[in-house]
Amino acid sequence: MGSADSDHLAAGPDEGKVAHPIELFFDLVYVFAFTRVVGFVVHDHNLESALKGALLLGLLWWSWGTWTWSMNAVDLTNRLRRLMILVSMMFIFLMGYAVPTAFGVDGGWFVAGYLGSRLLALAVMWFGTLHDAIEHASIRSYVPISLIAPAVLIIGAFAGESARPWIWLAALAIEVGAVLIAGQAEWHVDATHFAERHGLIMIIALGEAIIAVGVALTAAAGDDASISTALAWRLGVGLAGVAAMWWAYFDKMQTIWEVRLHEADAATAGRVARDLYTLLHYPMITGIVFFAVALEEAFLHPDEPLTGFTRWMLATSVAMYFLAQALATYRAWGQFTYERVIGVGIIALMAAVLTIKAELVVLLVTVVMLATMSAEYWRYRDEVKANPHLRR
């Protein structure tokens, strides 16, 4: 963030539209879906379940992202559009319910939910932008290529269980390719709304991490439901870890990305929104969900050393979260926050070698995350002090 970038940040974002209450309600089905992904990964607690969980999370993310682009482009005071959103929620609810058996008997139901949600989102975007010739032209170019991946998912649903993950992975790769192509077109993006919606889904994911701590400690306590000093301490340690993740995103990163999207012109806004949010927020979301898995595994046995799987999940989750944020900031302003890379290295080393209590490892990881962000702030402290938009 050099002096030229400071001038941009000082200008601050213009006011745009805010999230409609139905969008907040819409996100609630993803609370359930994220919970199911955490449960799916924890159930088998191995590398295969983690990779499959990331794949399912990617498809859930794409369903959410398609709707976010649609809701950003249209007026949600229209009752028919709100009804279509509510109908779509049922499809997403179905996807979430099918998560634990998506690679088994319920693969067809998972794909049915995905297909229904995607088609409704595309329909809302198609008919809701008929008044905007430029936006609608971009949508017309995107819709045909956006239907390839759902077709591949259908094929995967009827394939054998061993082949299904690979076919669905190909479908997700096709989805990424489709947005890379579509991002070259001209899109009218409301930056305030787009940034707010992504911040809200991050809150949803962080909420799942808090739930994971509570669920694990409840299970660890067994029949003894009384609160002890040790339990209160562990609740605090778990919450502090999630709070550090919140701080890493909302202290100033969210504002930096939003201001960059505001600065983009019509020709480049689609690419900026695609890169900063649609693509780079996926590893952030996955990082939070994996962090929830690590916390649940750690607090199921807080007095014991971390298992190999928990060590891997803890290091991977922070790496995905922090490195994606560093890349997004580099994409936005051309400045690389190397403090986060150093922090990831330290956390990976601690997760690999420490044999102390699991709760203490979580505490030390939290301390390192906070120290990393403090060092980053110290390097940019003059710019942060000079720009009220970074101090909010």
Position 6 scores a pLDDT of 43
Position 243 scores a pLDDT of 96
Q: Is residue 3 scored above 50 in pLDDT?
A: no
Instruction: Determine the Cα–Cα distance for residues 148 and 76; give it in Å rounded to an integer.
Output: 28
Q: Is residue 60 scored above 70 in pLDDT?
A: yes
Kindly report, residue by residue over 260-277, the tens digit of the pLDDT: 999 988 889 899 999 999
Instruction: Determine the Cα–Cα distance for residues 237 and 292; give it in Å rounded to an integer.
Output: 13
Q: What share of the chain is helix, strand, coil (3-state, %, to 5)?
A: 80, 0, 20
| Three-state secondary-structure class, residue 335 | coil
Instruction: Tell me the pLDDT band of 216, cut-offs 50, 70 and 90.
Output: very high
Q: Is residue 306 scored above 90 in pLDDT?
A: yes
Cβ atoms < 10 Å from Cβ of 235: 16
Kindly report, residue by residue over 97-141, the tens digit of the pLDDT: 999 999 999 999 999 999 999 999 999 999 988 888 888 888 888
State the angle between helix axes of 133-146 and 148-157 in degrees (0 to 180), rounded to the nearest 10.
30
Which amino acid is residue 127, in one-letter code? F
Instruction: Determine the Cα–Cα distance for residues 190 and 266; give it in Å rounded to an integer.
Output: 11
Check: CB of residue 156 under 8 Å from CB of residue 175: no
Q: Is residue 52 scored above 60 in pLDDT?
A: yes
Q: Over the chain, what is the mean pLDDT?
A: 90
Kindly report, residue by residue over 173-208, the tens digit of the pLDDT: 999 999 898 878 888 899 999 999 999 999 999 999
Q: Is residue 377 scored above 60 in pLDDT?
A: yes
Instruction: Determine the Cα–Cα distance for residues 78 and 5; give it in Å rounded to an integer.
Output: 39
Mean pLDDT highest for which of 4-13, 91-100, 251-260, 378-387? 91-100
**Backbone dihedral angles phi then psi of residue 187, each to the nearest 5 degrees:** -125, 140
Position 102 scores a pLDDT of 96
Position 2 scores a pLDDT of 44
Instruction: Determine the Cα–Cα distance for residues 5 and 145; give it in Å rounded to an integer.
Output: 36
Check: CB of residue 59 under 8 Å from CB of residue 114: yes
| Domains of the chain listed by start with CATH number | 1-17+191-392 (1.20.1410), 19-189 (no CATH)
Instruction: Tell me the pLDDT band of 376, cut-offs 50, 70 and 90.
Output: confident
Of 64, 73, 1, 61, residue with least CA distance to 37: 61
Kindly report, residue by residue over 228-255, the tens digit of the pLDDT: 898 999 999 999 999 999 999 998 888 8
Position 390 scores a pLDDT of 57
Of 65, 391, 58, 379, residue with least CA distance to 250: 391
Check: CB of residue 63 under 8 Å from CB of residue 118: yes
Position 319 scores a pLDDT of 97
Instruction: Determine the Cα–Cα distance for residues 120 and 137; give it in Å rounded to an integer.
Output: 19
